[in-house]
Chains A and B, each alone.
Chain A
Amino acid sequence: MAPTTSSSTSSSASVPTAGPAPSTTRGPAPRRAGRGRRASLDVMGWGFVLPFVVVFVVFSVVPAAMALFLSLTDIGIRDLTSPFAVDVVGLGNYASILGSEDFQRAMLNTALFVVVGVPVTMGAGFVLALALDSGIRRMRSVFRAIVYVPVIANVVAAAVLWQYAFTQQGPVNGFLGALGVDGPNWLGRPGWAVVAVLLLTVWRNIGTCMVLFLAGLQSVPEEVHEAAALDGAGYWRRVTAMTVPLLRPTTLLVSVLMSVSFLNIFDEPYLVTNGGPLSATTSVAKWVYDQFGYGRIADSMAGSMVLLVVVLVVSTAQVRLLRSKH
């Protein structure tokens, strides 16, 4: 599954230094392609990628294999220093977590985050990209930078603010009160806590969506719009009939990125609400972390494998769906 390579969007105007890079690009063809040159290219290539390969194998391949293996064992907290002296118990961990109410709850919560959060974030990012691409000149890069700033904000710092700002007597309700609205007890009520956590996540992700949509919009050829405008198509007609279909590859990319991001949601619920109240904001990733903290390593690993499979299925399905429509 490779969403990042599947995009057929042409190179964007905002990345002038990086040319289009189809993965089939050949390097300098070995002119005197003898056997010796070929072998020396192999040595050289692997030499240059060696540091990456070592880190990748030690900290991605081995851990992923271990996670799969450990999810099939009875490993507990004491076995962490001798992770291979454990008994294999098969799929028992999966059966027990899939049957447990708190894991089901975590899956439902995560599904809610994805189903609400992804469309809201993408929709807002798309509208902002349209606005910035609508022919305004002044302050354009300023607005773009402002919308992007939350993307680079530290999540712990933001979460500390959220905890303070969303207390019942806090600044958010102070602001709402000035507008004549009686603000709720955000972090004390399950439903409102979900909203507060979602607001933080959406705030942090809109900028990414906007930048990607903007790059996509700028790669749409001008002539297409001019021709349609001359034919009498109004703004919204052109957006719905031309921009949206032409942006299909970008939309696919953004929806995969955002879905994966919301499926993996951990920092925000962990930091703002610690999964509460009443487990209302416990995501699957938060649940996995909690099991690790309780020393239930086997359950934790089984949960993480479930999440891995869901992430792969969702991103593959999106690639298929959005491709098959045209």
Chain B
Amino acid sequence: MSVQTPTPTPTAVTVTPTGPGGTRPAAAVAVYVLLVVVSLLMLAPFALVVFGAFKTQGEFTSDPGGWLPDSFTNVHNFVVLFTEKGFGRYFLNSAIVSGVTVVTNVLFSAMAGYALAKVPFRGRSLVFGAVVLAMTIPYVAVFVPQFVIVVQLGLVDTLAGIVLPMLVMPIAVFIMRQFATSVPDELLEAARLDGASDVGVFVRVVLPLLGPAVATVAIFTFLNSWNYFLWPLVVAQSTDTYTLPVGLSVASAAANTTDYGVLLAGSVTILVPVLVLFLFLQRYFIQGIAATGLK
């Protein structure tokens, strides 16, 4: 951090339109050095995961402190992962859980977000308060009773039991509501005057206008359910219902230290879908954070 040395701004108009920084070359160089160093620190763990996934078991014991694998074409760890460790099944389960929750969250949160933003019904502020409250309840305070409820419903060790509490997440409703407030009232009024029903207004006018919100909620929901760990760990009790994170943590707990290659291949398997998505849609990821944090 010391690289960002104080930069007394020259007397007059070197101020840029983007912020309080000067444009002096020395300052710019310091900023770039800081950013490059931090970026390397941020990316080093990913590099280690990928490098490790291509190492043989022998490499882990013969050169435990080394970074690079001997060969990047050794896919043995991935073969073991999918043929012996059951990760094909876990991958499928994760995909099902994420797919279902993405669809239900988009639909239900768009409905709720629209009503909370645009329909002045009695009890609206109560429901909105519930959304905010639900986002602040510590998860450890409710997962045991949630588990009891799922037991009562006969859904322990089923994918349905995993999905149920995530069908519509408060954060999705919150994001959707923030976006829905910007839908112009005139459009809704015009559609009603044209004779559209309440559902018709929602489906034909509101949903199309919520495009960016749908993308944001879909991505956030996918991220949440794909990465979710504690709840599936509690509900899933057999390898038939493990999701990827649960499968990996169980494999990790059972492994001895020479299995790192397989475990890191498992890590790569979990990380890659999200990273690929992020590569193409990072604008929406960051929008989601800004929308939930700042409004």
Contact = CB atoms under 8 A, between A and B. Distances in A.
Nearest to B51: A171
A164 B258 CA distance: 10
B249 interface: yes
Contact of A235 (B9, B11, B117, B144): B9
Interface in B142-192: 142-149, 151-152, 164-165, 167-168, 170, 173-174, 177-179, 181-182, 185, 188-189
Contact of A1 (B20, B136, B249): B136
A161 interface: yes
Interface in A227-270: 229-230, 232-236, 238-239, 242-243, 250, 253-254, 257, 260, 263-264, 266-267
Contact of B138 (A59, A133, A257, A307): A307
B264 A158 contact: no
B270 A154 contact: yes
A158 B48 CA distance: 10
A17 B213 contact: yes
A135 B136 contact: no
B83 interface: no
A266 B230 contact: yes
A21 B275 CA distance: 31
A135 B23 contact: yes
Contacts of A164: 48, 52, 260, 263-264
Contact of B229 (A81, A206, A267): A267
Give the bracket for the number of chain A residues in contact with chain B.
35 or more
Contacts of B109: 52
Contacts of A59: 142, 146, 149, 164-165
A128 B114 CA distance: 36
B141 A156 contact: no
Contacts of A257: 293
B79 interface: no
A41 B138 contact: no
Contacts of B268: 157
Contact of B127 (A49, A80, A220, A243): A49
B58 interface: no
A53 interface: yes
B280 to A, nearest CB: 11
Interface in A1-24: 1-5, 7, 9, 11-12, 14-15, 17-21, 23
A143 B43 CA distance: 11
Nearest to A2: B132
Interface stretch (A96-104, A145-153, A190-198): A145-153
A133 B20 contact: yes
Contacts of A132: 35
B129 interface: yes
Interface in A242-300: 242-243, 250, 253-254, 257, 260, 263-264, 266-267, 271, 284-285, 288-289, 292, 297, 300
A119 interface: no
B66 A174 contact: yes
B196 interface: no
A160 B278 contact: no
Contact of A160 (B112, B135, B266, B285): B266
Contacts of A173: 65
A62 B149 contact: yes
A292 B144 CA distance: 8
A117 interface: no
A30 interface: yes
A49 B65 contact: no
B20 A174 contact: no
B117 A23 contact: no
Contacts of B254: none
Contacts of B39: 143, 146-147
Given A42-B122, A154-B245, A267-B230, A146 B181 contact: no
Closest 8 CB pairs of A and B: A45-B121, A174-B65, A134-B21, A157-B267, A63-B145, A48-B115, A66-B145, A135-B16
10 contacts: A9-B294, A11-B295, A14-B287, A23-B128, A27-B117, A42-B123, A44-B121, A152-B285, A212-B294, A229-B15
Interface of B: 1, 4, 6-9, 11-23, 27-28, 31-32, 34-35, 38-39, 41-43, 45-46, 48-49, 52, 64-67, 104, 108-109, 111-112, 114-125, 127-149, 151-152, 164-165, 167-168, 170, 173-174, 177-179, 181-182, 185, 188-189, 198, 202, 212-213, 223, 226-227, 229-230, 244-245, 248-249, 252, 257, 260, 263-264, 266-268, 270-271, 274-275, 278, 282, 285-287, 289-295
Given A58-B149, A135-B19, A171-B48, 20 more contacts: A5-B132, A5-B295, A7-B294, A12-B290, A15-B290, A18-B291, A45-B119, A46-B121, A47-B198, A67-B142, A154-B267, A154-B270, A159-B252, A160-B266, A164-B263, A173-B65, A235-B20, A266-B230, A285-B139, A307-B140
